[in-house]
């Protein structure tokens, strides 16, 4: 835990440490590089860093991987992400378009990305960056070497595994308790589909946070963690399953299937020339798990849902992160 933990309030940031996203199609495909989306954690770090210390956790305690695909300029457009994506797509299609030219035409997006990369270096330390894919945004791919060099020059930060975090909470000889956390936040990107889904220790974490009245914020693909809420782990390591768990029936939102299908058909996960599918869709998995999933009619529209009963805040993607971070700050203030 941070040395300054005794002097400032703490918040928990849980990131995926997945490196590879499996594909169900094409058959036999080894999967594609994946990770977390910068904008979906940076907005929270920016809003709270002045007054809070962050505990960094991943499911297995290994550093998270930054997804290069989340560094496309349009993802830094806030609630205007959809408009920014349309604009930069048109600009990139020009015969004389270059990464440098695209950056000159979009200074606000560039400035925000630069600031968010600085935030990540300041708080996350040395972390890997995913390899580019055939359909990775060309402008984002063009900065990868610089981004990698920037992170490699940093010292490593401590990432606590979820198991270790729970065990510290349970240990009466440690000063750490979930009860002292102001909130927990987890960003998306496709990484959470790998190591947040159907994970017993994730289930124990979520349930223990709820029991200690800690607001939980999940965005984009991160709400898939709620498929793990059926699990509890006893002090002696026994895993139990309860389909009628405390989170069941919660009102949430997430990355919609219709948006995922668009991404798989035309954007970075697409395997060129072949039908591309993931093992499951997050919204379907959550509905099947008993959640009340509300989706935006427009895939690029902002959707944020606060379920007071379950102290659960969810958002549907990068376009929602500014709204979600602001709502999280309101919730934290009201509970202080």
Residue 231 in tokens:
């699990």
Average pLDDT over residues 258-282: 96
Residue 57 β-bridge partners? 14, 160
> Do 322 and 75 contact (CB within 8 A), yes or no?
no
Q: CB within 8 A of 186, min separation 6: which ones?
A: 13, 14, 15, 16, 192, 196, 217, 218, 219, 222, 225
The pLDDT, as a whole number, for residue 95 is 84
Is the confidence at residue 98, as pLDDT, over 50? Answer: yes
Is the confidence at residue 316, as pLDDT, over 60? Answer: yes
Confidence category of residue 142, pLDDT binned at 50, 70, 90: very high
Residue entry with tokens 């956390």 = 181
Distance in angstroms (rounded) separating the CA atoms of residues 66 and 320: 19
> Do 110 and 74 contact (CB within 8 A), yes or no?
no
The pLDDT, as a whole number, for residue 6 is 52
CA proximity to 258, closest of 303, 287, 297, 290: 297
Average pLDDT over residues 72-95: 93
Residue entry with tokens 């560094």 = 71
The alpha carbon of 83 is separated from its chain's Cα centroid by a whole number of angstroms, namely 22
Is the confidence at residue 135, as pLDDT, over 50? Answer: yes
DSSP structural state of residue 66: B
The pLDDT, as a whole number, for residue 3 is 43
Percent of the chain with pLDDT over 70: 98
Residue 64 in tokens:
């998270």
Percentages helix, strand, coil for the chain, rounded to the nearest 5?
Answer: 45, 15, 40
Q: CB within 8 A of 153, min separation 6: which ones?
A: 126
Is the confidence at residue 5, as pLDDT, over 70? Answer: no
Alpha helices in the chain (DSSP H): 39-48, 81-93, 99-105, 107-124, 138-142, 144-152, 162-170, 192-195, 200-211, 257-266, 282-288, 321-335
Q: Using alpha carbons only, what angle is made at residue 34 by residues 33 and 39, rounded to the nearest 5 degrees?
A: 140
More confident residue, 2 or 145: 145
| Torsion, Cα of 16, 20, 22, 23 (10° steps) | 120
Is the confidence at residue 80, as pLDDT, over 60? Answer: yes
Residue 288 in tokens:
């099947």
Is the confidence at residue 100, as pLDDT, over 70? Answer: yes
Q: CB within 8 A of 290, min separation 6: which ones?
A: 243, 248, 249
Residue entry with tokens 């946070």 = 209
Is the confidence at residue 282, as pLDDT, over 60? Answer: yes
Fold of 12-335: Rossmann fold (3.40.50)
CA proximity to 67, closest of 188, 153, 158: 188
Average pLDDT over residues 294-307: 95
Distance in angstroms (rounded) separating the CA atoms of residues 206 and 252: 15
Q: What is the mean pLDDT of the chain?
A: 96
Distance in angstroms (rounded) separating the CA atoms of residues 71 and 76: 8
Preceding omega of 236 cis (within 30 degrees of 0): no
Average pLDDT over residues 273-279: 97
Distance in angstroms (rounded) separating the CA atoms of residues 87 and 89: 5
Distance in angstroms (rounded) separating the CA atoms of residues 215 and 213: 6
Average pLDDT over residues 168-185: 96
Is the confidence at residue 271, as pLDDT, over 80? Answer: yes
pLDDT tens per residue, range 196-243: 999 999 999 999 999 999 999 999 999 999 999 999 999 999 999 999
Lowest mean pLDDT among 64-73, 87-96, 270-279, 307-316: 87-96
């Amino acid at each position: 835990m941070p040395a300054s933990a005794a002097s400032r309030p703490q918040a928990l940031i849980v990131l995926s440490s997945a490196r590879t996203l499996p594909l169900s199609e094409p058959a036999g495909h080894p999967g594609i590089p994946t990770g977390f989306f910068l904008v979906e954690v940076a907005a929270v770090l920016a809003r709270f860093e002045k007054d809070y210390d962050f505990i960094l956790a991943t499911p297995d305690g290994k550093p998270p991987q930054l997804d290069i695909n989340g560094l496309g300029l349009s993802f830094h457009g806030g609630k205007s992400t959809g408009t920014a994506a349309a604009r930069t797509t048109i600009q990139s299609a020009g015969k004389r378009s270059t990464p440098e030219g695209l950056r000159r035409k979009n200074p606000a997006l560039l400035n925000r990305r630069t600031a968010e990369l600085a935030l990540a270096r300041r708080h996350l330390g040395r972390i890997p960056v995913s390899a580019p894919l055939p359909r990775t945004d060309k402008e984002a791919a063009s900065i990868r070497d610089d981004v990698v060099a920037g992170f490699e020059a940093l010292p490593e930060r401590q990432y606590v595994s979820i198991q270790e975090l729970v065990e510290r909470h349970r240990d009466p000889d440690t000063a750490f308790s979930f009860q002292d956390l102001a909130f927990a936040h987890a960003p998306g990107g496709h990484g959470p589909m790998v190591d947040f889904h159907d994970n017993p220790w994730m289930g124990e974490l979520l349930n223990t946070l709820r029991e200690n009245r800690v607001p939980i914020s999940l965005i984009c693909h991160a709400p898939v963690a709620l498929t793990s809420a059926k699990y509890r782990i006893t002090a002696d390591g026994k895993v139990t399953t309860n389909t009628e768990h405390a989170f069941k029936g919660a009102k949430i939102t997430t990355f919609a299937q219709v948006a995922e299908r668009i991404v798989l058909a035309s954007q970075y996960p697409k395997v060129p020339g072949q039908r591309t599918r993931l093992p499951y869709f997050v919204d379907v998995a959550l509905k099947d798990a008993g959640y009340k999933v509300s989706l935006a009619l427009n895939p690029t529209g902002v959707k944020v849902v606060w379920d007071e009963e379950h102290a659960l805040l969810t958002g549907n993607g990068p376009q929602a992160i500014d709204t979600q971070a602001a709502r999280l700050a309101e919730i934290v203030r009201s509970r202080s």
